[in-house]
């Protein structure tokens, strides 16, 4: 049997592929045949390039048993880095991340500095509402930084009366709570969130010597109005000095 020679026009053109970085990154992450079909080339073309770059062939692995601690790392680092950490292929990491609707690490927006300062201070739900993000994302960021969950401040409501807010930092947290009928935890949390020093800390600021000499000779409120500051501040100084109040002295 005589074989007919193919003319130049009958020669079959082999598909060519431009091996850019994105294509090379996929080598070894799935079967060569699967990758070849997606690229529109032969399996041999993919295999040859993989071997040329000394990339190991994809080996089918058993499904990884995802623990809660493993899932918390999704989106916190790159899929490739997490796959090395867990000893599995990056495709398993990517599939689980997409299943849980978690953004890839490189695509996540930078966590706001202001929100970072609130982690562990106020509930995750409050931070999420303040910065327009999900509470799950806040919780994941907090846990990734090793920060414990914030205690729930009085039924979780940081809304305080304006009169109570005005007194925060000017008197003891317990006195503010008692005066306005709000939880002490809510007062303390509000003060921390807004960077207001505790009344005890402000107590360390020096008061006029003349004002100190008059402690107990007039009401704390009169001293505050005369020398500046809050009545609570003078009250604390007077109590620490063991001086009875003006009212108790005059009552005798």
Would you list the DSSP string of 137-196?
HHHHHHHHTTPPPPPP-TTT-----HHHHHHBTTB-HHHHHHHHT--HHHHHHHHHHTTP
3 located within any domain: no
Burial of 113 (0-12, 13-18, 19+ CB in 10 A): exposed
Those residues whose C-beta lies under 8 Å from the C-beta of residue 7, and which sit 6 or more positions away, are: none
7 located within any domain: no
Cα dihedral 218, 219, 222, 228 sign: positive
Q: At what angle are helices 220-227 and 231-240 packed, to 10 degrees? A: 120
Q: Are residues 213 and 240 in the same domain?
A: yes
Contact 180, 163 (CB under 8 A): yes
Give the separation between CA 196 and CA 192, rounded to whole angstroms.
Answer: 6
79 located within any domain: no
In the predicted model, is pLDDT for residue 10 greater than 50?
Answer: no
Give pLDDT, residue 59.
61
128 located within any domain: no
Long-range Cβ contacts of 120-123 (<8 Å, 24+ apart) = 120/147, 120/148, 120/149, 120/150, 121/150, 121/189, 121/192, 121/193, 122/150, 122/153, 122/158, 122/189, 122/193, 123/149, 123/150, 123/152, 123/153, 123/156
- Of 120-134, 167-181, 196-210, the range with the lowest mean pLDDT is 196-210
Which residues form the domain of 182?
162-201
72 located within any domain: no
pTM: 0.28
142 located within any domain: no
223 located within any domain: yes
Q: Are residues 208 and 181 in the same domain?
A: no
What average pLDDT score do residues 226-244 get?
78
For residue 94, give the 3-state DSSP assignment: helix
Q: Are residues 225 and 212 in the same domain?
A: yes
Q: Are residues 177 and 188 in the same domain?
A: yes
Structure tokens at 168: 């925060």
Give the chain's domain count.
Answer: 3
Average pLDDT, the chain: 77
Give the separation between CA 199 and CA 13, rounded to whole angstroms.
Answer: 83
Q: What is the pLDDT of residues 148-201, one digit of tens each?
A: 777 655 444 456 788 888 888 888 787 888 788 877 777 877 777 777 777 755
Contact 224, 237 (CB under 8 A): no
């Amino acid at each position: 049997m005589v074989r007919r020679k193919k003319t130049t026009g009958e020669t079959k053109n082999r598909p060519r592929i431009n091996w850019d970085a994105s294509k090379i990154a996929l080598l070894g992450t799935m079967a060569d045949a699967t990758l070849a079909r997606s690229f529109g080339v032969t399996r041999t073309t993919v295999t040859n390039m993989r071997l040329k770059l000394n990339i190991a062939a994809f080996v089918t692995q058993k499904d990884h048993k995802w623990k809660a601690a493993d899932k918390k790392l999704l989106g916190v680092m790159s899929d490739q880095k997490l796959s090395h950490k867990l000893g599995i292929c990056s495709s398993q990491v990517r599939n689980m991340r997409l299943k849980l609707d978690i953004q890839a690490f490189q695509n996540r927006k930078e966590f706001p500095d202001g929100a970072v300062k609130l982690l562990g201070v106020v509930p995750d739900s409050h931070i999420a509402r303040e910065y327009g993000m999900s509470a799950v994302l806040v919780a994941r960021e907090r846990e990734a930084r090793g920060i414990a969950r914030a205690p729930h401040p009085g039924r979780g409501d940081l809304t305080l009366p304006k009169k109570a807010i005005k007194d925060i930092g000017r008197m003891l947290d317990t006195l503010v709570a008692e005066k306005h009928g709000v939880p002490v935890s809510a007062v303390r949390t509000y003060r921390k969130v807004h960077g207001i020093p505790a009344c005890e800390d402000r107590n360390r600021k020096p008061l006029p010597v003349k004002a100190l000499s008059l402690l107990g000779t007039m009401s704390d409120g009169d001293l505050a109005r005369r020398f500046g500051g809050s009545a609570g501040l003078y009250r604390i100084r007077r109590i620490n000095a063991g001086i009875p109040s003006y009212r108790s002295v005059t009552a005798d």
